[in-house]
């Protein structure tokens, strides 16, 4: 309902009649006021002065939650980050927003230096559009990995850590590089971890055969995320807990979880949640171009991927990303593990924002933060989205 025909920088929007998820409990009877692209007031509805409001959005008793933040995804709807085109990013952002993701990192897979550089330049030069999920940076997944744990990373492009390459990549990114996944045990990795931390880039542990001790050293040098925990890393053993044991035990580490109920057994996810708590679990999609589409043949990093029963695999049988979206990951947490809705939402919003250091302005509904919010029902169906103060209804 529009109260005033007003446009411009000072337009004020009220979202009312909501269950407000923010971020450790749910508030009833509150309204949220947005001015321009920021949240400026959170108050009991009766205390909000309606004469100062230009647009009222009726939440109809549904949940207003912070927009999801996906820090690990390669594409969707037939498009891949490695396509290196504006059209690809536009379409990827459109699908993200339909599934409650208001901001994301574009993930660049291991490839030739030329392909990675082209993708990074394309991401760095991309200009966000208000009607789409916001591209907030770059996640470089590779190429400094262990061949033994390469998973779906193209083996021919995996290389030893090289400081010259990573410096050049950082420069190409125009400071858009937000996270780099690396195997900490590889020769030269510790120097790169130190360099990236000096540039305020989050360092993640991935595709690694690191022992428990080697992982601890990597964490001490500054690594703070375990990329898709359990997958692409040394298996846990009671005599050598390895990278999994170190990540679960160390309070400094956030753990990514691909909860499509394909990559991980429910019990493995439950163990991680019990060990880390909602504040340190980061739900990610790790989606590839088949997300949102039917079964068939696709590509990831130039490799053929066969999607059958929504499961993406290389011809070798290795899992190759997922067809998941964060909306479904949150739903799975709630409906298969009985995680409270507020905690499941935090794993997809505030926790990832903290993991990459953007929680000062993203990840929760708080005064002064960016107006990135989603209206959802109890089954996490997305009814409406707000990105940087721009409202878009998704319901009929």
Residues with a catalytic annotation lie at: 286
- Residue 52: what are its φ and ψ, rounded to 5°? -95, 5
Q: To which residue do tokens 């991935």 refer? A: 206
Report the C-alpha gap between 314 and 289 in whole angstroms.
Answer: 13
Report the helix count and the strand count for the chain, using DSSP H and E: 10, 21
**Chain mean position to CA 303:** 23
Q: CB–CB of 170/199 below 8 Å? A: yes
| Cis before 143 (ω within 30) | yes
Report the C-alpha gap between 350 and 360 in whole angstroms.
Answer: 10
Token pair of 312 as six digits: 């993406």
Q: Which of 307, 301, 329 is nearest to 140 (CA)?
A: 301
Strand 79-80 to 75-76 pairing: antiparallel
Strand 303-308 to 311-314 pairing: antiparallel
Q: Which of 339, 363, 326 is nearest to 67 (CA)?
A: 363
Q: CB–CB of 69/102 below 8 Å? A: yes
**Chain mean position to CA 366:** 20
Strand 75-76 to 202-205 pairing: unpaired
Largest CA distance in the chain: 68
Report the C-alpha gap between 180 and 110 in whole angstroms.
Answer: 11
């Amino acid at each position: 309902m529009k109260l005033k025909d007003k446009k411009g920088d000072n337009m004020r929007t009220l979202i009312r009649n909501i269950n407000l998820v923010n971020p450790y409990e749910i508030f009833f009877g509150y309204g949220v006021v947005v001015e321009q692209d920021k949240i400026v007031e959170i108050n009991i509805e009766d205390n909000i002065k309606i004469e100062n409001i230009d647009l009222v959005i009726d939440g109809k008793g549904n949940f207003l939650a912070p927009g999801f933040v996906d820090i690990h995804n390669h594409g969707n709807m037939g498009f891949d980050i490695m396509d290196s085109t504006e059209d690809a990013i536009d379409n990827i952002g459109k699908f993200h927003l339909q599934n409650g993701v208001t901001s994301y990192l574009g993930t660049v897979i291991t490839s030739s230096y030329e392909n990675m550089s082209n993708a990074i330049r394309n991401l760095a030069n991309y200009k966000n559009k208000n009607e789409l999920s916001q591209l907030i940076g770059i996640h470089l997944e590779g190429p400094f990995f262990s061949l033994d744990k390469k998973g779906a990373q193209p083996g021919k492009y995996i290389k030893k850590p090289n400081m010259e390459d990573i410096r050049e990549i950082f420069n190409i990114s125009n400071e858009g590089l937000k996270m780099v996944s690396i195997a900490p045990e590889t020769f030269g990795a510790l120097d790169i971890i130190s360099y990236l931390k000096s540039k305020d880039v989050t360092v993640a542990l991935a595709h690694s055969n690191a022992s428990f001790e080697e992982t601890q050293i990597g964490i001490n040098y500054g690594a703070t995320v375990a990329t898709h925990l359990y997958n692409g890393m040394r298996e846990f053993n009671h005599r050598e807990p390895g990278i999994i044991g170190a990540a679960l035990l160390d309070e400094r580490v956030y753990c990514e979880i691909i909860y499509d109920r394909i990559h991980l057994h429910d019990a493995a996810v439950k163990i991680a949640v019990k060990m880390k708590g909602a504040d340190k679990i980061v739900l990610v999609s790790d989606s590839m171009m088949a997300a949102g589409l039917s079964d068939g043949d696709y590509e990831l990093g130039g490799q053929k991927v066969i999607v059958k029963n929504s499961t993406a695999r290389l011809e070798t049988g290795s899992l190759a990303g997922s067809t998941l979206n964060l909306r479904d990951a949150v739903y799975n947490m709630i409906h298969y593990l009985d995680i409270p809705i507020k905690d499941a939402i935090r794993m997809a919003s505030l926790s990832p924002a903290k993991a990459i250091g953007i929680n000062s302005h993203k990840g929760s509904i708080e005064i002064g933060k960016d107006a990135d919010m989603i209206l959802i029902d109890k089954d996490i169906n997305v009814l409406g989205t707000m990105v940087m103060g721009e409202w878009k209804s998704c319901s009929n």
